Amino acid sequence: MRKITYTRTVSNYEFSPPKLLNEIEYSYFKDRLNKDPNVQFFHQYNYQKKNNHLYLIAFISAICFVIGLIGTLNSEKSNWSFFLLIISLLVLFPLINGGRLQSAINQDNAENERSLYYSKLKKRIIESKNYSDFIKKEIEYQQFEFENKIRQMTPSNK
């Protein structure tokens, strides 16, 4: 029997927080936030909008697959249901098995982490009184995040 081999490529996207702000950077951002609290620190990419098309195609294909499967398994077998089943499989198989859907999910998760990090950073800068207060809050936040990651990696004994 022959074996069919293929390559599945899944891109892993990860957000790595930048290094700690120095006093000059802190002062710059603090001044900007005092003038305009709505200022954005980073350019927000629109990956989710781009990936929403992919999610919509996958969702519609999954619905068509279920409808086609029900129609094909029904006692009155019809050509349209079998055609719908085949077309949905031709769309779903490359999306799922080719790794494109998982790559899009990874990309969205990394962008969400990035957005959350910068919104929390902005909040910590606004709430801090001075640079040393900011450093204290930043260290507490990083320790909290580190403990959360450890908890997520540790299997729970329930």
pLDDT for 7 equals 64
Give φ, ψ of 45 to 5 degrees: -80, 155
CB 82 within 8 A of CB 68: yes
pTM over cut 0.85: no
Instruction: Give the C-alpha separation, 137 to 155, whole Å.
Output: 29
Q: What percent of the chain has pLDDT over 90?
A: 9
Q: Where residue 149 falls among pLDDT bands split at 50, 70, 90?
A: confident
Q: Where residue 5 falls among pLDDT bands split at 50, 70, 90?
A: low
pLDDT for 85 equals 83
pLDDT for 131 equals 92
pLDDT for 130 equals 92
Q: Which residue has the tokens 């003038």?
A: 35
DSSP string, 39-83: --SSPPP-HHHHHHHHHHHHHHHHHHHHHHHHHHHSSS--HHHHH
Q: Where residue 141 falls among pLDDT bands split at 50, 70, 90?
A: confident
User: What is the chain's mean pLDDT, rounded?
Assistant: 82
Q: What is the pLDDT of residues 83-98, one digit of tens each?
A: 888 888 888 887 777 7
